[in-house]
Amino acid sequence: MTGWKPVIGMEVHAELETHSKMFSACPVVDSVTAPPNTAVDPVSLGLPGTLPVINLQAVEYAMMVGLALNCEIPPVNQFARKSYFYPDLPKGYQISQYDRPLCINGWLDVEVTPEGGEPYTKRVRIRRAHLEEDTGKLTHVAGGSLVDYNRAGVPLLEIVTEPDINSAAEAEAYARTLRSILQYLGVNSGDMSKGVLRVEPNISVMHPDDAEFRTRTEVKNLNSLRVLFRATEAEIERQIGLYESGGEVQQATLGWDENKNRLVVQRVKERADEYRYFPEPDLPILEISRAWVAEVSAKLPELPEAKRARFMDELGLNAYDARVLVMEQAVAHFYEAVLAAGANGKSAANWITGSLFSLMNANGFNREDIEKSKITAQQFAELVKLVDGGALNKGTAATVLNTMWETGADPARIVEEQGLAQVSDTGAIAEAVARVLAENESVVQDYLGGKEKLFGALMGQVMRAMAGKGDPQVIKQTLTDLLEARRG
Ligand code: ADP
Ligand code: MG
């Protein structure tokens, strides 16, 4: 198995969340929840005599994505017909783009954290991103297939990379980073389970002696980033296994069987597809002025990478915290709302990436669900401020956070009702320390005799004696003072 190098190029289809479809005023609806065939019109059904009109908002959204991916936007852009026959394609052709796509020659830097390895940055070149229309949706049932044209004609952006990706971890990191950018741009929700974002890796493997790429396969229908990772790993292993046992890889389209947790062959390609592309005669060539590009460019929001750099520069966050806080836009929103409510940046970052994320994991919350928890950003900020201000120690604060998670109550109220306020009163602490020392004479003797590690045990005893509410800093100081006094 040694020496083989995976070669992966990604094709991502992202629906653009415009109000209307790519070539008509027909509304775009949620293709999972809307009743079938309720958002259709003569244009999206491709009825004879209809004419398409370009949705300018879709062009702008696509341009935003292209600019965020460091692409060139060529001055001339043209739609093309891609002909094929399938029941979900009412016109018998899809309006797409061929030799004059909207965006070309870009790149995206992605941070990869391989399992058990050091993080590194990988640059993935973007070959092109072009606009097209989505197809309808088929549902196979006993005795036939049902077709829903709600999705037919929804603006779709296809983003294609060069084969620069060399592992499943890199493929997942690329998709995660791209998804995050689409969410920040507000053009796509990133919900892979609904199919609004569809990620397809093209996979081959290379032997050190190879001068050229080998045959690739394409994996479709991956409905989460986790599945993308698993399916890519499985396919790399399958191909290496085939070559090592003297076999060959056949060009094919594969899918992932969610129930069986394995790859299935959907279609073996015997010859190249023939789409008979030609310029779409019903649409004008779109000339894209530099002024328009500049105008769209000026409208781009702060993107994850810039936000991360700012969190590190302005708030002093470490690279890891900054990254996990920006990756999901919902998390970044929550964090920024916590800051706006007056919490310290570093403390808030620690509490979110630590205790809050653990609570979310334990309760089956994805990161993007952060705003669905009962804890508001305002309340979270209050908790952080209580700790930073010394009113609450960290151990108790974790307990308070648990209660906040369950009840949605204000932290100050929980502290008051449960009597959890931190005790910093030196008198009360000195009393507790003296009591613990008196009750643990032999430990004290061992400590004074050189077993310095026992300090921790004594510290723990005092914390317990004060029901976890004592201020650790004050306890530590008092304990040190009283023990030193014993040395006489
Ligand atoms: P087309 O779809 O027009 O045939 P290509 O075959 O050139 O385009 O590429 C489609 C995708 O497959 C791109 O993302 C590309 O990087 C990737 N790709 C091309 N060749 C290979 C290969 N041998 N192994 C892995 N990925 C590949
Ligand atoms: Mg394609």
Query: In this structure, which ligand is nearest to the CA of 158?
Result: 2
Contact 1, 240 (CB under 8 A): yes
**Measured CA angle at 181 (ends 184, 194), to 5 deg:** 85
Distance 117 CA to ligand 1 centre (A): 28
Distance 248 CA to ligand 1 centre (A): 18
Contact 158, 129 (CB under 8 A): yes
Q: How many CB atoms lie within 10 A of CB 109?
A: 11
Position in ligand 1 atom list of the atom nearest CA 164: 16
Contact 377, 343 (CB under 8 A): no
Q: Name the pairing type of β-strands 120-133 and 155-161.
A: antiparallel
Q: How many CB atoms lie within 10 A of CB 460?
A: 11
Instruction: Give the pLDDT confidence of 405-422 residue by residue, as tens digits.
Output: 999 999 999 988 888 887
**C-beta 11 within 6 A of ligand 1:** yes
CA distance from start to end of the chain: 68
CA–CA distance from 241 to each of 4, 200, 203, 262 (Å)? 11, 22, 14, 15
Structure-model confidence comparison of residues 140 and 425, the more confident one: 140
Instruction: Give the pLDDT confidence of 246-299 residue by residue, as tens digits.
Output: 999 999 999 999 888 899 999 887 777 789 999 999 999 999 999 999 999 999
Position 204 pLDDT exceeds 60: yes
Beta bridge partners, 139, equal 146
Distance 10 CA to ligand 2 centre (A): 11
Q: Alpha-carbon torsion 385, 390, 391, 393, what sign?
A: positive
**C-beta 219 within 6 A of ligand 1:** no
Q: What is the helix (H) or strand (E) element at residue 132, kind and residue range? A: strand 120-133
**C-beta 410 within 6 A of ligand 1:** no
Distance 282 CA to ligand 2 centre (A): 21
DSSP-assigned letter for residue 341: T
CA–CA distance from 166 to each of 4, 122, 195, 232 (Å)? 10, 10, 25, 11
pLDDT at site 202: 98
Residue bearing tokens 């199919």? 195
Instruction: Give the pLDDT confidence of 79-127 residue by residue, as tens digits.
Output: 999 999 999 999 999 999 999 999 999 999 999 988 888 999 999 999 9
**C-beta 9 within 6 A of ligand 1:** yes
Q: How many CB atoms lie within 10 A of CB 177?
A: 20
Residues 142-168: b if buried by 16+ CB within 10 A, e if exposed: eeeeebbbbbbbbbbbbbbbebbbbbb
Position 66 pLDDT exceeds 70: yes
Beta bridge partners, 137, equal 148
**C-beta 216 within 6 A of ligand 1:** yes
Distance 139 CA to ligand 1 centre (A): 29
Distance 366 CA to ligand 1 centre (A): 32
pLDDT at site 156: 98
**C-beta 160 within 6 A of ligand 1:** yes
What are the residue ranges spanned by the domains of the chain? Answer: 5-295, 304-418, 426-487
**C-beta 213 within 6 A of ligand 1:** yes
Helices (H), 204-340: 225-244, 290-299, 304-315, 319-327, 329-340
Split at pLDDT 50, 70, 90, the class of 468 is confident
> What gap in Å lies between CA 272 and CA 117, rounded to an integer?
39
Instruction: Give the pLDDT confidence of 324-356 residue by residue, as tens digits.
Output: 999 999 999 999 999 999 999 999 999 999 999
> By percentage, how much of the chain surpasses pLDDT 70?
100
The amino acid occupying position 393 is N
Which of 212-216, 365-369, 371-375, 424-428 bottoms out in mean pLDDT, i.e. has the lowest?
424-428
Query: In this structure, which ligand is nearest to the CA of 5?
Result: 1
> By percentage, how much of the chain surpasses pLDDT 90?
85
The amino acid occupying position 427 is G
pLDDT at site 270: 72
pLDDT at site 12: 98
Split at pLDDT 50, 70, 90, the class of 1 is low
Q: Best of 69, 202, 253 to mutate for ligand 1, by most ligand atoms within 8 A of CB?
A: 202
Helix, strand or coil, per DSSP, at residue 21: coil
Instruction: Give the pLDDT confidence of 432-458 residue by residue, as tens digits.
Output: 999 999 999 999 999 999 999 999 999
Distance 158 CA to ligand 2 centre (A): 7
Whose Cα sits closest to atom 11 in ligand 1?
Answer: 9
Whose Cα sits closest to atom 22 in ligand 1?
Answer: 216
3-class SS shares of the chain: helix, strand, coil, % to 5: 40, 20, 40
> What gap in Å lies between CA 380 and CA 390, rounded to an integer?
16
Q: Best of 10, 97, 108, 216 to mutate for ligand 1, by most ligand atoms within 8 A of CB?
A: 216
Distance 11 CA to ligand 1 centre (A): 9
Residues 391-410: b if buried by 16+ CB within 10 A, e if exposed: bbbeebbbebbebbbeeeeb
Q: How many CB atoms lie within 10 A of CB 470?
A: 27
Q: What is the pTM of this model?
A: 0.87
Contact 145, 139 (CB under 8 A): yes
CATH architecture classification, 426-487: Orthogonal Bundle (1.10)
Show Cβ contacts of residue 274 under 8 Å, excluding neighbours closer than 6 positions.
none
**C-beta 10 within 6 A of ligand 1:** yes
The amino acid occupying position 402 is N
DSSP for 395-451, written as a single string: HHHHHHHHHHHHH---HHHHHHHTT---B--HHHHHHHHHHHHHHTHHHHHHHHTT-
